[in-house]
């Protein structure tokens, strides 16, 4: 098993020590009653892979949360492919979207909180961007596993979370980069 580096106050860190560090926190943000959450300048050539952790609930009803990649403040609104499985109590539902306008992250409603762990590969490279997401809703047995790809080869620097129907959410998100 790998041993993490031990840092001592006042010590000079080497490149080798810094490259051993796992997740590197890039964004740590809280949001309140938001129908759209924009996170710009979080993807760069520094990392090929990113992990986004979110916990949120709706403040005003039931919504679906979509994610769009962004570059220079503009949302990409096409070519999102997605395959997902929703496990709810004793029911399994599968869904597939081709050439959609966003990735479906998960839904939210006022009766339960949602936790999302998403890994995104290559958003800041001139290559297809892919993702894998696991969602867990509190208060009910409901989980969604999904994965997909954005087939454009644009170099993206951020993302936008969009709630359907003008419903808003409150919560927090953290973006990490890793190699």
What integer pLDDT is reported at residue 147 of this predicted model?
Answer: 92
- pLDDT per position as a tens digit, 137-160: 765 667 888 899 999 999 999 999
Alpha-carbon gap, residue 13 to 149, rounded angstroms: 37
What's the pLDDT band for 27 if we cut at 50, 70, 90? very high
- CATH number for the domain formed by residue range(s) 22-178: 2.60.120
- pLDDT per position as a tens digit, 84-108: 888 877 788 888 888 889 988 877 6
Question: Is-contact 165 101, C-beta < 8 A?
Answer: no
Does residue 18 carry a pLDDT above 70?
Answer: yes
pTM attached to this predicted model: 0.87
Domain ranges of the chain: 22-178
Strands 142-150 and 129-137, by their bridges, are antiparallel
């Amino acid at each position: 098993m790998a041993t993490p580096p031990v840092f001592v106050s006042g010590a000079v860190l080497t490149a080798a020590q810094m490259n051993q560090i796992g997740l590197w926190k890039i964004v740590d943000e809280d949001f309140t009653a938001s129908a759209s959450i924009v996170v710009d300048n979080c993807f760069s050539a520094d990392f090929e892979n990113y992990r986004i952790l979110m916990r949120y609930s709706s403040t005003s009803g039931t919504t679906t949360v979509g994610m769009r990649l962004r570059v220079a403040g503009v949302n990409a609104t096409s070519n999102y492919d997605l395959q997902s499985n929703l496990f709810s109590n004793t029911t399994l539902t599968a869904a597939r979207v081709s050439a959609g306008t966003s990735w479906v992250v998960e839904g939210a409603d006022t009766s339960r909180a949602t936790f999302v762990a998403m890994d995104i590969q290559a958003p800041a490279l001139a290559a297809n961007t892919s993702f894998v997401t696991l969602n867990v809703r509190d208060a009910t047995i409901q989980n969604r596993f999904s994965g997909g790809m954005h087939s454009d080869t644009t170099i993206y620097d951020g993302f936008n979370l969009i709630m359907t129907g003008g419903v808003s959410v409150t919560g927090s998100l953290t973006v990490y980069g890793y190699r």
